[in-house]
């Protein structure tokens, strides 16, 4: 049974908050709703970024998603510097 | 910012070739922080380890690509490169820009960055090297509002599409590469600016099999112009080449005396499928055997031209990683119409079919070519809904059975050999 958009957003935030590492690949969110198409998950992840609930984090070669408070705890406001 | 002693780097200036060290020293007179790049590089040479660390949360608001964060791990020693982020700009199609535009970009980069550039990055972008986090948003504002340009792709985004000169200058282009490149860049803005995939994905568009952007080697999705019908032959021009009245290869190897033009040695015997021959003084081609290698057309451009039924071949899965070794794209679709009338929908359908599958099946940091290799070409073709053709098989004449499944073969793979031998003696 597919989740509603709001339920899926909530599940994705929960996932990002509880994952062992603060940075997640977009694929890590797929399990939040196995019935949802990967493209839909990607679009919702980007919507959460626009809402400020997730943020992009770059490893230099790969772009990942993270909860802002978790990543800032780890890196400080200025990033990995 | 003080100069640093750089004896190891200075050696790089002693060769006969132009040196980036000289360029950087010249730039440092205008931008003193460049002395710190030289200083840190000297230290890296000495320590035999990089002193850059990259990544982090830099970027511009709403974009998940286009900026690659870079920091020094020895900022106290080299404060000028404490932040040294890279900015990728989407280049114009076929890299047609005016000097006015280049000057404007350089002025912008003098204002907000180190002044150091790398034109072009391997994806084709205009790469601006070295700025601080607080300069990114103002730079982006000026770039988009004053110059009307945008950032390119990075990370697991669709990378900035690139194309050859196409029909703007080349008579061999089988489709309008610039038009497709621009149309798909606009169509896939979200994929270029925000992460969408398990890993990077690159489009490259070449107008003919000469493949001037090396799409077959450097892009996950290569659209390479080709034709379906026969090579057009002007027999009168063939005779002119044979008489030595037209220079072979458009005169491009005329710097020394190669002797008289020999059509057998220089064209017929070099055809990879041996599908050309002379009948009297007429050149003949068995077009059903032609692999579109372009050699004969390149040698005799006034006599031979691509056919008139034009389109493109789709090759998928090239990559050129440093560690694993390079892999060419696999020819997946021999011919597709590249039609502006329907907004290139045939090409878009193929791209999205690949993406839908790869986004689901691809592992993190796995290029589509690696996923294809992992599942095997027969499986890939099946999920793409593509009928296998002989061209998909590396050696079709020696291994024609690779695509057959047991249920597709009458009687399956198990059979009564004795019964078979009654009808087919050894």
Q: What domains sit in chain A, N to C, each tagged with a CATH number? A: 5-75 (1.10.10.10)
Cα separation of B123 and B372, whole Å? 22
DSSP of B304-359: EE--SSEEEEEEE--B--TTT--BPPEEEEEEE---GGGTTHHHHHHHHHHHHHHH
Is the pLDDT reported for residue A80 higher than 50? Answer: no
Cβ atoms of B44 and B134 closer than 8 Å: no
Question: Which residue of A56, A75, A79 is in closest CB contact with B195?
Answer: A56
Q: Do B71 and A79 touch (CB under 8 A)?
A: yes
Q: Can you give the pLDDT at residue B54?
A: 81
- A38 contact B CB<8A: yes
The rounded distance, in Å, linking the Cα atoms of B262 and B326 is 36
The first and second tokens of residue B298, run together, are: 């390149």
Q: Which residues of chain B have pLDDT under 70?
A: 1, 323, 395-403, 426
Q: How far apart are alpha carbons B167 and B170 in whole angstroms? A: 5
Place of tokens 């996950």: B220
Chain A contact for B269 (CB, 8 A cutoff): no
Domains and CATH numbers, chain B: 7-145 (3.30.70.2500), 162-228+310-408 (3.30.413.10), 232-305 (3.30.70.20)
List the single residue in A with minimal CA-CA distance to B134: A78
CB contact under 8 A, A62 and B196: no
Query: Minimal CA–CA distance to B329: which of B343, B347, B313?
Result: B313
CA distances from A48 to A7, A16, A40, B52, B325 (A): 13, 11, 12, 31, 37
Tens digit of each residue's pLDDT (9 = 90 or more) over B220-229: 999 999 999 9
Alpha carbon distances (Å) from B59 to B62, B64, B306: 8, 7, 46
Under the banding of pLDDT at 50, 70 and 90, the label for residue A81 is very low
Contact A63 B154 (CB under 8 A): yes
Q: Higher-confidence residue: B26 or A60?
A: B26
Q: Is A81 within 8 Å of B195 when comparing Cβ atoms? A: no
Quote the ipTM score. 0.85
- DSSP secondary structure of B382-402: HHHT----GGGSSSTTT-TTT
**What b/e sequence results for B397-421 when a residue is b if at least 16 CB atoms lie within 10 Å of its CB, and e otherwise?**
eeeeeebeeeeeeeeeeeeeeeeee
Two structure tokens written together for B42 = 């000297």
What tens digit of pLDDT does each residue of B365-383 get? Answer: 899 999 999 999 989 999 9
* 3-class DSSP state of B116: strand
Tell me how far apart the alpha carbons of residues B64 and A12 are, in angstroms, rounded to a whole number: 18
Name residues whose C-beta falls within 8 Å of residue B202's C-beta, 6 or more positions apart in sequence.
B123, B158, B159, B161, B218, B219, B220, B221
Q: Assess whether pLDDT exceeds 90 at residue A63.
A: no
**Residue of A28, A49, A58 lying closest to B69 (CB–CB):** A58
Predicted local confidence at residue B123, as pLDDT = 73
């Amino acid at each position: 049974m597919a989740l509603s958009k709001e339920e899926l957003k909530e599940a994705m935030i929960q996932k990002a908050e509880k994952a062992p590492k603060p940075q997640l690949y977009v694929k890590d969110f797929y399990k939040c709703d196995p019935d949802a198409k990967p493209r839909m998950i990607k679009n919702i992840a980007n919507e959460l970024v626009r809402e400020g609930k997730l943020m992009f984090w770059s490893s230099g070669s790969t772009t990942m998603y993270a909860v802002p408070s978790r990543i800032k705890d780890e890196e400080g406001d200025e990033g990995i510097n | 910012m003080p100069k640093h002693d750089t004896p190891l780097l200075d050696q790089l200036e002693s060769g006969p070739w132009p040196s980036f060290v000289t360029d950087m020293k010249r730039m440092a007179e205008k931008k003193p922080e460049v002395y710190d790049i030289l200083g840190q590089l000297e230290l890296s040479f000495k320590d035999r380890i990089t002193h850059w660390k990259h990544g982090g949360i830099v970027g511009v608001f709403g974009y998940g690509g286009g900026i690659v964060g870079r920091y020094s791990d020895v900022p106290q020693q080299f404060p000028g490169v404490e932040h040294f982020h890279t900015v990728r700009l989407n280049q114009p199609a076929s890299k047609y820009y005016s000097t006015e535009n280049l000057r404007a970009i350089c002025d912008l980069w003098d204002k907000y960055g180190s002044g150091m550039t790398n034109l072009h990055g391997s994806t084709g972008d205009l790469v601006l090297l070295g700025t601080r986090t607080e300069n990114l948003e103002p730079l982006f504002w000026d770039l988009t509002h004053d110059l009307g340009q945008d950032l390119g792709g990075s990370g697991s985004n669709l990378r900035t599409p690139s194309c050859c000169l196409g029909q703007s200058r080349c008579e061999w282009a089988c489709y309008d590469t610039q038009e497709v490149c621009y149309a798909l860049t606009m169509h896939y803005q979200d994929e270029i600016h925000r992460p969408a995939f398990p890993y990077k994905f690159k489009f490259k568009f070449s107008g003919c099999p000469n493949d001037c952007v090396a799409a077959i080697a450097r892009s996950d999705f290569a659209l390479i112009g080709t034709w379906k019908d026969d090579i057009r032959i002007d027999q009168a021009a063939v005779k002119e080449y044979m008489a030595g009245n037209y220079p072979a290869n458009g005169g491009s190897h005329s710097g020394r005396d190669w002797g008289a033009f020999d059509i057998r040695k220089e064209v017929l015997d070099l055809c990879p499928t041996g599908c050309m021959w002379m009948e009297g003084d007429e050149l003949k081609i068995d077009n059903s055997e032609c692999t579109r290698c372009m050699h004969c057309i390149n040698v005799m451009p006034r006599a031979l031209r691509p056919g008139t039924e034009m389109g493109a071949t789709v090759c998928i899965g090239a990559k050129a990683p440093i560690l694993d070794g390079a892999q060419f794209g696999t020819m997946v679709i021999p011919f597709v119409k590249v039609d502006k009338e329907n907004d290139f929908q045939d090409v878009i359908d193929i791209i999205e079919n690949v993406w839908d599958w790869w986004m689901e099946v691809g592992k993190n940091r796995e290029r589509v070519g690696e996923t294809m290799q992992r599942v095997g070409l027969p499986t890939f073709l099946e999920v793409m809904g593509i009928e296998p053709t002989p061209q998909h098989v590396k050696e079709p004449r020696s291994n024609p059975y690779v695509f057959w499944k047991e249920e597709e073969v009458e009687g399956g793979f198990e059979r009564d050999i004795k019964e078979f031998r009654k009808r087919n003696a050894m």
